[in-house]
Amino acid sequence: MCALAHVFEAHGLATVALVAVRPVAERMHPPRALYGEFPLGRPLGVPGDAAFQHDVLRRAFALLERPEGPVLEDHPEVIEFSETPLACSLPPRYDPDVPEAVDEARALRDAYERSRAARDGRTSVGRVAEAAAVPDLVAAFVAIAEGTPWDQAGLPGDPISAAHDVRTYYEEAALDLVDVSPDPGAAEAWFYESTAGGRAVLAARKAMQDAGVPFAFWFYMARATR
């Protein structure tokens, strides 16, 4: 993003960047940057809080009045958050003939659809599979975890994109199952730690690592810190 600032500025566009990693902005010195110590993935700070978002924009646009640069300033607020898994109910076992994770993914479908409808249809599921096929992705991850080579498990695309679709399906479903706006770490922790689907993705990732599959095929199936 800092590289874009340099190129745009050289082409006659004035830029101001909201930056998420301060040392990178220090090294790359874009013309005008505002660092916000906000949860990664939330550069405007707080979802659903127009006043907070306007405060970020006001401070960013104020940098356009500086006569020279580069200028890097900090937003005064630091947003702390919990990584305690979201307290979110999970469905009871329904079909004992399929793995627990597949049963669970199927049962979350209605919650996912309600959540999507509440956002006028907006969803980030669909990189390799639509919601109806997410239980099949989960079944493939269970098979990989149990020893099936990843490229013979029936995934319709690469495992990183499939893991994205599963995680996003669960996290969007969770928005329908809780009444609070989840802390940034909470939904991710809930998916990987509390759900059978998340555990299946992590187990598949570990099995791929143990089988000597190249790093690029499994590492980004979950946060670098997992």
Partner 1 sequence: MSADSDIRAWAAGLPAPEFDTTAWTTPPPLAGATVAIVTTAALHRRDDEPFGPFDVGYRVIDRTDRDLVLGHWSPNFDREGFALDLDVVFPIDRLEELAADGTIGAVAPHHLAFAGNQDDTVTKVRLDTAPKAAQQLRHDGVDVVLLTPV
What part of residues 110-139 is at the interface with partner 1 (CB under 8 A)?
115, 119-124, 126-127
Spatial distance between the Cα atoms of 68 and 185, rounded to a whole number of angstroms? 38
By CB under 8 A, tell whether 28 contacts partner 1: yes
Neighbours of 62 (CB within 10 A): 13
Q: Going by C-beta distance under 8 Å and a sequence separation of 6 or more, which residues neighbour residue 110? A: none
Which residue's CB is nearer to partner 1, number 104 or number 188? 188
Closest distance of CB 142 from partner 1, Å: 19
- Which residue's structure tokens are 């555990």? 199
By CB under 8 A, tell whether 221 contacts partner 1: yes
Spatial distance between the Cα atoms of 188 and 198, rounded to a whole number of angstroms? 9
By CB under 8 A, tell whether 160 contacts partner 1: yes
Which residue's CB is nearer to partner 1, number 143 or number 174? 174
By CB under 8 A, tell whether 2 contacts partner 1: yes
Closest distance of CB 184 from partner 1, Å: 4
- Give me the helix-helix angle, 100-107 and 159-177, nearest 10°: 50
Whether 160 and 220 have beta carbons less than 8 Å apart is answered as yes
**Mask of contacts with partner 1, 69-88, x by CB under 8 A?**
xx---------xx-x-----
